[in-house]
Amino acid sequence: MQQTMNKQKKLAMILRAPKNQLAKLVGKVNQITYLNQQFVRFLAPQMAKHCQLANYENDRLVVLIDHANWAMQFRFLIPELLKQLAKEEAFKGIKAIEYKVRLKTVTPPEKKRQISKLSSQTIQLIKSTANSMTDKNLKKALMKLAKEK
């Protein structure tokens, strides 16, 4: 327990250190997370599901959109969004909104292996091969194989 607290204190000290790259990165992530929460308020709920604020630098926002169809619709919202965001303190100075399509990665479901049944002829062949083995481990493994199927 004490070790965990010491590690947490050390991490906190590292993050607070001046000119610390990790601290800057964490700060940037926190800023973008906050701005994303504010940004999606200006989008229709259906559109907000497909958009994510990716960066805010200088006078432009970068928005990632998960499909080209949504990106096309988003493109037409940009002029109005710029007007609305200009009224918000967090987005003062925004002059441009850039968008990029980043498709969501979908992992295919794992295929279950179909175990085919061994024919009785194959089982007999495995047993006969096992009986002719001198290596006890190999013989045991072949007999187990013949029994499982």
Is the pTM of the predicted complex or chain greater than 0.75? Answer: no
The answer to whether 63 touches 97, Cβ cutoff 8 Å, is: yes
**∠38-67-43 over CA atoms, to 5°?**
25
The label of the residue with tokens 């002719």 reads 132
Residue 95 has pLDDT above 90, yes or no: yes
Q: DSSP letter at 118?
A: P
Tokens at 145, concatenated? 């194989």
Domains of the chain listed by start with CATH number:
12-101 (3.30.300), 115-149 (no CATH)
Tokens at 99, concatenated? 């968008």
> Which has more confidence, 69 or 12?
69
